Structure 1
Amino acid sequence: MEEYEIAVIGGGPAGIMAAIAASKNSSNVIILEKNPKLGRKLLTTGGGRCNITNAKPIKKLLKFYPQKNFLKHSFYTLTNEYLLSFFENKGLNFIEEDNNRIFPESEKSSDILKILTDYLEDVVISYNFEVKSISDDFVINDKIKADKIIIATGGITYPQTGCSIDNYFLTSQPLTDIKYGLVPLVTKKDLSSIAGVTLYDVVISYKKTKVQGNVLISHVGLTGPGIIDLSNDISESISYNLLENDDVDVDFEIAIDLCPESSREELQDKFNQDFQTKGKTMIKNYLKLFLTNKFIDFFLDEINLDGETQLSRINKKSKNRLIENLKRFTFNITGFNDKLAKVTIGGIDLDSINPKTMESTIIPDLYFAGEVLDLHGPTGGYNLKIAFSTGYLAGLSASEKKKDRN
C-alpha cells in the first residue's frame, strides 16, 4: 500500500492549488484525479478564456457572497495579488475587463492550467483514479494510505468533467440541500422563433429581487448574464434537493423591465405626445425606439396588438397595455436548464468546517476546498476565487499542521 502525508482528491482548480500549497511544506503529496488530465472544468471557464478572479478589493468583493464571513480568512490568505503572481512569475500577464473581471492576456485557459501544472513538479499525480471509499483511518480504495486528506471534488455541474453527486457521500460530513446555480431558465412558451435575440441592459425581477443586465433568448428559454446571476436567488428560494430527487418541478414568473431608463409616467407622457405628432407611424416601427428589432413582432403578438396599426389608431386601453408590458413583460418559467448550470449551490455544511484552516471540525485531518463546500458567488470570476483561495488555505493548513507536529 502506498503511503502519503497528504492526499488531494480532485484535480480541478481547488485541488491543484491545494496540492501546490501543501507541497511547500511537504514532499509527499499526491493528487487523485478521476480523469486522464487535470483541470477539465477549468478549461471551460470564461468561455475558454478563464475569468480567473475578480479585481475588486477584498472588503468589497466579500459583499457579493452569501457566505462572506466564512470566506474572509481564505481570501486574505490568498489575495488576488498573490494569486496572479503565481502566473506573472512564469511570464503570463493579465487584463481587466468590465465589472473587474480578470483574464489572462493570452485569453487561453490552457495557459493558466499549464502554469498550475508546472508548479506540481514535486507532487505525485494519479490519473484515472476514481475514489470510491475512504476508511476511518484514511485508506483510499484500499490502495492508498494518507495522514491527511483534502477533498476538492467539485459540485454536480459539468458531469462530463468528473463531477458527481456521489462525491458528497465519501465522508460523513453533514450536507446542505444541493441545487443548481448560475443556471439558464426554461420557459413555458416556445421561444425558438426569437432564439438568439438579446435584450440589452434590462432589469429582471423575481419576487423582490432585481438584477440589471443582458438577457439572451435561447431555443428553450432565457440565459445571459442578467438571468444567470438572478438564478441563484431563484434556486435558493425554491424548496428542492438534488440529493433526494433530480426531477425539479417549478412553476413561477419573472418580469423584465424592457425600458428601465424610463418610468411609466415618462413613457405615458412620451406616448401621448408621439402618438399625436407621429400618428401615421406604425407601432412596429415606433417600437424600434425601445426594443431590439427581432423582438418587436414577438412582443406585439404577446400583448395582442397588430404591428401595422398606426399610432393615431391606438386607443387608451391598448396604449396602457403597451406601457405596462414595456415596464413589466413576463415569462412563465417551468424549469432549469441543468446541463448548463455553472456552479452548485449547497454542499458540505460550513458549520462543520473551520474557516481559518478548512479542516473538518468533526473529522480531524480531513479538509475541504472549492465547490464541494456550500459556497458560491455570482458570475465574473467570483467562483474561481473561491476555488483558489480555499484550496490554497486547505493545502497550507494541512502541511503546516504536519510540520508543527515534527
Structure 2
Amino acid sequence: MDEYEIAVIGGGPAGIMAAIAASQNSSNVILLEKNSSLGRKLLMSGGGRCNITNQKPIKKLLNVYPQKNFLKHSFFTFTNEMLLSIFEDKGLNFIEEDDNRIFPESEKSKDVLNILTDYLDSVVISYNLEVKSIERGFIINDNIKADKVIVATGGITYPQTGCSPDNYFLTSQPVTDIKYGLAPLITKKDLSSIAGITLFDVVVSYKKHKVKGNVLFSHVGLTGPAIINLSNEISEVLTYNLLENEPKLDFEIAIDLCPNLSRDDLHEKFNSDFQLKGKTMLKNYLKMFLTNSFIEFFLNEINLDGELQLSRVNKKSKNRLIENLKRFTFEITDFNKDLAKVTIGGVDLDNINPKTMESTLIPNLYFAGEVLDLHGPTGGYNLKIAFSTGYLAGMSASEK
C-alpha cells in the first residue's frame, strides 16, 4: 500500500492550489485525478480565457457572496495579490476588464493551467484514478493510505470534467440540497427569431429578487450575465435537490427594459412626446428606449402596430406600452442544465472550520472549492473561492 502524508482528491483549481500549498511544507503529497489531465473545467472558464478572479477591494468582494462570513479568513489568507504573483513570477501578466474581472494578458486559460502545473513538480500526480471510497484511517480505494485528506472534487456541473453526485458520498459529511447555479433559462416561447440580440443594462426580476445587467436571447431562451446571476437567486428560492430529483419549473420572470425611468417618468415623457412628435411612427420612436432589432418582436408581443403614428396611440395602448417597458415577462420552463456553470449547495459549512477548511466532525479531513456549499455570481468570483479555499486547506493540512 502506498503511503502519503497528504492526499488531495480532485485536480481542478481548488485541488491544484491545495496541492501546491501543501507541498510547500510537505514533500509527501499526492494529487488524485479522475481524468487523464488536470484542470479541465479551468480550461473552459471565461469562455476559454480564464476569468481568474475579481479585483474588487476585499471587503466589497466578500459582500457579493451569501457565505461571506465563512469566506473571510480564506480570502484574507490568500489574497488576489498573492494569487496573481504566482503567475507573474513565471512571466504571465493580467488585464482588468469591466466589473473588475481579471484575465491573463494572453487570454488563454491553458497558460494559467500550465503555470499551476509547473508548481506541482514535487507532487505525485495519479491520473485516471477515480476515488470510490475513503475509509476511516484514510484508506483510499483500498490501496492508498494518507495521514490527511483534502477533498476538492467539485460540484455536479459539466460532468464531462469528472464531476459526479457520487463525490458527495465519499465521506459522511452532511450535504445541503444540491442545485443548478449560473444557468441560462429555457423559455416556453420560441425565441429563435431574436436569437443573438442583446438587451443592455436592463433589470431582470423573479419575485423580490432583482439583477441588473445584459440579457442575451438564445434559440431556446434567455442567457447573459443578468439572467445567469438571477438563476442563482431562483435556484436558492426553489425547493429541490438534484441528489433526489430534478426541479419542475413553471414560473415567470420580468425584464425592466427602462430601469432608469419610472412609470411616472414614462407617462410624463409620452404625454409630451406623443404631441410634439405626433407624426413619428411608434417603431421609430421606441429606438430611444430599445435595441433596434428587438422592437418588432416587442411590439408584436404586446399587440401594437409599429406603423402607428404617435398622435394616434390611444390612452389604453399607451398604458400597455408603459407597463411592458417596465415589466416585459417570459414564462420559464427549465434551467439550461447543460450550461450551468456552478453548483449551489454542497458539504454543509456548519461542519467546516473556516479558519482551516478542516471538518469539525472528522479530524484531518479537509474540503476546498465547489464541493463546499459556496458560490458567487459570474465574473471571477467562483474561481476566487476555489483558489483561496484550496490554498487555506493545503496550508492547514501541511502544518506540522
TM superposition score normalised by structure 1:
0.97
Deviation at 1:278, TM superposition (A): 2.1
Give the Cα separation in 2 of the matches to 1:270 and 1:298. Answer: 23
Matched, 1:326 2:325: yes
Give the Cα separation in 2 of the matches to 1:254 and 1:156. Answer: 25
Question: What residue number does 1:277 align with?
Answer: 276
Give the Cα separation in 2 of the matches to 1:77 and 1:116. Answer: 19
Give the Cα separation in 2 of the matches to 1:270 and 1:86. Answer: 55
- The AA in structure 2 aligned to 1:383 is N
Question: What residue number does 1:312 align with?
Answer: 311
1:112-152 per-position Cα deviation (integer Å, ceiling 9, x unaligned): 10000000000000111111111112111112111111000
Question: What residue number does 1:146 align with?
Answer: 146
1:277-328 per-position Cα deviation (integer Å, ceiling 9, x unaligned): 2222221122112111221111111111122222222111001100111111
Give the Cα separation in 1 of the matches to 2:164 and 2:68. Answer: 26
Give the Cα separation in 2 of the matches to 1:197 and 1:56. Answer: 30
SS of the equivalent of 1:272 reads helix
C-alpha root-mean-square deviation of aligned residues, in Å?
Answer: 0.9
SS of the equivalent of 1:41 reads helix
Question: What residue number does 1:399 align with?
Answer: 398
Please show how residues 31-46 of structure 1 align to structure 2 within 5 Å: 31-46=31-46
1:170-209 per-position Cα deviation (integer Å, ceiling 9, x unaligned): 1110000000111111111111111111011001111112
Q: Runs of 5+ in structure 1 lacking a partner?
A: none
Question: What residue number does 1:217 align with?
Answer: 217
Give the Cα separation in 2 of the matches to 1:284 and 1:59. Answer: 45
Deviation at 1:273, TM superposition (A): 2.0
Question: What residue number does 1:18 align with?
Answer: 18
Q: Runs of 5+ in structure 2 lacking a partner?
A: none
Question: What residue number does 1:378 align with?
Answer: 377
- The AA in structure 1 aligned to 2:282 is I
Question: Stretches of 4+ moved more than 3 A in 1?
Answer: none
Greater mean deviation of Cα atoms: 109-118 or 264-273: 264-273
Question: What residue number does 1:362 align with?
Answer: 361
Give the Cα separation in 2 of the matches to 1:57 and 1:284. Answer: 44
Please show how residues 69-218 of structure 1 align to structure 2 within 5 Å: 69-218=69-218
SS of the equivalent of 2:35 reads coil
Give the Cα separation in 1 of the matches to 2:199 and 2:94. Answer: 30
- The AA in structure 2 aligned to 1:307 is G
Question: What residue number does 2:386 align with?
Answer: 387
1:331-380 per-position Cα deviation (integer Å, ceiling 9, x unaligned): 11111111111110000000111111111111111110000000001111
Please show how residues 254-293 of structure 1 align to structure 2 within 5 Å: 254-293=253-292
Give the Cα separation in 2 of the matches to 1:280 and 1:73. Answer: 63
- The AA in structure 2 aligned to 1:378 is P
Give the Cα separation in 2 of the matches to 1:286 and 1:76. Answer: 51
